[in-house]
Structure formats: C-alpha cells, structure tokens
Amino acid sequence: MKAKLILSIFICLSFINPGICKEKKKYLFTLKDLIERAIRFNPEINESKMEVYIAKSYLSKVKAFYYPQIKIEAVAGPVSDADEPIVRRVGRTNIWKIHDPYNGGYGIFGRLDFNIVQPLFTFGKLYNSKQAAFYGLRAKRYEVLKKKVEIAFRIKQLYYALAISKEGVGVAEDTDSFFLDTKKIIRKLLKMKSENVTESDLYKVDAYRAIALKSKAEAERGMKVAYFALKSLIGLSPEEEFDIVKVDLSINKEELKDLSYYINQALANRPDYRQLKEAIEAKRFEVKAAISEKYPTFFAAIKGSVAGAPGREKFDNKYIPDEFNHAYAGIVFGMEWEFDFGIKNAKIDEKRAEFRRLEFMKKNAELNIPIQIADLYHQLIELKKEAEFYRKAAISARKWVVSALQEFDMGIGTAENLLFGIEKYGQNQGKYLEALYKYHITMAQLKAAIGTW
C-alpha cells in the first residue's frame, strides 16, 4: 500500500513537472574537449571576432577609394513655361531688347547631374592607408588567438583543480581508513586487556583524524567549485552533467626542453607579442598616411548633366546656359589641396608619438618575456623536485604506517608511533598533490607564455 502511494505521488508530480522524470545527460570530457567547448562557447571570442570583422570592413572601405567615386543628384519641381527668347530692335534705335519668353503657364522640370572622380596620384595617401588597415586587421586576428590562449589557461586551472581535488578526496579517505583501522585495533586490544593501549588512545585517534576529515571536506569543496565553474565555461545546461577522463597526473611523462627553446617559441608565437609587432607596422603606415595629407591629390573626373522641361522651348546658346533643357558631359583633370595652420603637423606628431610608444612597448616586451619564461622554467624544475621528494616521502610514510599497523595489531607497537605515521602520510600526500597542482598550473602558464595550450 505504501509503495503504491509513493508511486502515485511520483506519477502526479511527474505530470505536473515533467522535468522530475527527465534523466540528466552525462558527458565524458578530456582536457582537450573542455578547451574546445569553452572556446566555442565563450562570448569573449565572438567579441574579438567582431573586432576582426570591423577591421576587415575598414580595409575594404580603404581599398574602395582606389576606384572611381560616383555622385549622382536628381531633382524635379515646378517651373514657369516659356518660349525661346527673341532679341528685337527697339524702333530705329540701336537698342536691342529681349522679348519676354514667359507665356503665362506652369509646368514641371527634371534634372540629373553626375560626377565621376578617379584618383590618379595621391602622394601615398591611399597606399599608406591601405597598408595601415591591412596590418591593423592582422593585429585584431592575433587578439582572437590571445583570447583563446587565455581561455585555455583558465580551463586548465579549473581542470587540474578538479582532478587534484578528486585525488585529494581519495587520499583523505585512504588516510581516514588507517585511523578507522587503528580504532578497531585499539578496541580489540582494550578487550584483550593489552598493556600498550589505554582508553585515551581512542581520543587521540579522533584528534588526529579531524585533520583528515577537514582535508576531505576542503577537497570536496574545491571539487564542487571547480566543477561548477567548468560547467559554466563550457556552456552546459542544468540538465547536463559531465565528468573528466581519468589521466595520469604524474610529472615524469613530460620532459622539459632547453630554456632557449621556450624563449624562442615565445618571441616567435606569443599572440600579444606578435599583435604588438603588427600594431607597430600599422602605426608606421598611419604616420606615412598623415604625412601624405600635406600634399595634393590629382584626379580625373567626368562631369555631366541632363535636364528637361516640356513646357519650355530649348534655348541653344553657347554663352547662356539653359538650366532646364540641356544635355552635356565632359572629362576634366584637377587637383585638390587642403591647407591649414598646424592641424596636419599636429596629427603627424600625434601618430609619431603613438608609433614610438608601441616601439618602446616592444622593446620592453623583448626584455621581460625572456625573464618571465626563465622564471616559469626554473619554477617547474623546483616543483618537479619538490613533487618527487613528497612522492617518495608519502611512499615511505605509507610503508611506515603499514608496518606500524601490523606491529600495533600484534601488541608490540605504540599508538603514538602509528598515529604520528598516519599523520605524516596524510601530510606528505597532501604536499605531493599541492606540488603536483602547482607544477601543472605553472606548465600551463609556460605554454600560455609561448602562445600554445
């Protein structure tokens, strides 16, 4: 009866909220999978891609100035009707008068004017502007790559936090199992009236065990935080879950290359450094384009106009233009030259200052990048040694615990020796995992510093 009631309630709740019965999807991801998903999902990447699109559009606009620019203007409106004007002599005098052509009516007129201008020689205005836009586009593309490297590093931080936290939970549980075994042995020896144990030894176990329980709780908290952050970054919905593929986190699988290799890779591939180099080239051509503005622009143009007014007679006269009935076109050559009193020179100085600032930034990067790489490189060497020391210490401590446990079980060991050994085992394992995490994060930093992931 109780089972039927529970089933009925569940069916009812499922009907009201179908999400209750919906089974959550679960994925299994490698580190590479997580990075690829985060890069696809992250809005910062799309934002940088829009910057590339804007730069590409600007380059297209600059290239378009090489082609003719066409301006067309069409107008229509009312106009008074008129006959062709007639020049008549006034009487027998030498005075000539134009007969008023207005015939008293009103009509409409239409007119189309066009102007086609083709630049011929600009003293480098177009070329320098095009090159500046071209290198600006390349700089924006490196911004996208820089964002990808940053996101990959962020994912690695969370990935290794999750993986190491899982290992930490296992270590805490392993350490706790030794304390539980110790408790069982103490109770057994107390029943046997053994002289090498007392009731207070049980309290000692609880006192030592608190550290293992605290470590387990911290590891579980770190695991949950890293999991939630990863889930958000890769764009999984609340109905979706994931787990990471278990990997070998030991550090002997990847050998470090020479320091010079990493420095050369950084100077060759690092996105922010390459972006800076492209930005310098863009600014160099901006300076040249600003200088070109001081010189004239030579051009060829085709100018023409067509107009018609049905109510007005056409007036053919080479010296008096008819604004309402005509059709003409012709080619001209010209020059456009703008003068000012210091505006262009100030713009040139501004561009030169920006160019020099970028050059100093590049020199500063060339000084600091090798220092950063060397620092990370030597940190890795030290962390590798540290992790190896604590790994060996943890192995020795475990042997100590197993041996002490056997001796204590036989009634010839002491609780203090066993508890101290378990404590040292937990501490060494914790230090080993901490060094392991630092090593992997520092390696991720090194890879990000040379522009890879």
Model confidence at 13, pLDDT cuts 50, 70, 90, reads very low
Domain end (from 336, 365, 389): 336
The CB-based long-range contact list for 79-82 (8 Å cut-off, 24+ gap) reads 79/106, 79/107, 79/108, 79/109, 79/309, 79/311, 79/312, 79/324, 80/105, 80/106, 80/107, 80/311, 80/312, 81/105, 81/106, 81/107, 81/311, 81/312, 82/311, 82/312, 82/313
Distance CA 54, CA 8 (A): 60
Domain end (from 278, 311, 336): 336
- Same domain for 48 and 92? no
Domain end (from 320, 336, 352): 336
Residue 6 lies in a domain: no
Residue 12 lies in a domain: no
Separation of CA 360 from chain center = 25
Which domain range does residue 374 map to?
18-66+124-296+343-449
- Same domain for 76 and 173? no
Lowest mean pLDDT among 19-23, 55-59, 140-144: 19-23
Distance CA 418, CA 401 (A): 6
Q: Please, which residues have CB within 8 angstroms of residue 52's CB and are 6 or more apart in sequence?
A: 137, 140, 141, 143, 144
Model confidence at 16, pLDDT cuts 50, 70, 90, reads very low
Distance CA 265, CA 280 (A): 20
- Same domain for 53 and 145? yes
pLDDT over threshold 70, residue 304: yes
- Same domain for 182 and 222? yes
Contact assessment for residue 410 and residue 354, using Cβ atoms and an 8 Å cutoff: no
Confidence at residue 250, expressed as pLDDT on a 0 to 100 scale? 85
For residues 91-113, average pLDDT: 75
The proportion of the chain whose per-residue pLDDT surpasses 70, expressed as a percent, equals 90
- The residue with greater pLDDT, 6 or 177, is 177
Confidence at residue 96, expressed as pLDDT on a 0 to 100 scale? 63
Residue 10 lies in a domain: no
Name which of 374, 440, 369, 381 is nearest 153 in CA terms.
440
3-state secondary structure of 79: strand
pLDDT over threshold 60, residue 111: yes
Q: How many Å is the Cα radius of gyration of the chain?
A: 42
- The residue with greater pLDDT, 319 or 244, is 244
- Same domain for 404 and 265? yes
Mean pLDDT of the chain: 89
Residue 48 lies in a domain: yes
For residues 77-81, average pLDDT: 89
Distance CA 312, CA 314 (A): 6
pLDDT over threshold 90, residue 333: yes
- Same domain for 285 and 361? yes
Confidence at residue 99, expressed as pLDDT on a 0 to 100 scale? 63
- The residue with greater pLDDT, 102 or 442, is 442
Confidence at residue 100, expressed as pLDDT on a 0 to 100 scale? 62
Number of domains in the chain: 2
- Same domain for 117 and 145? no
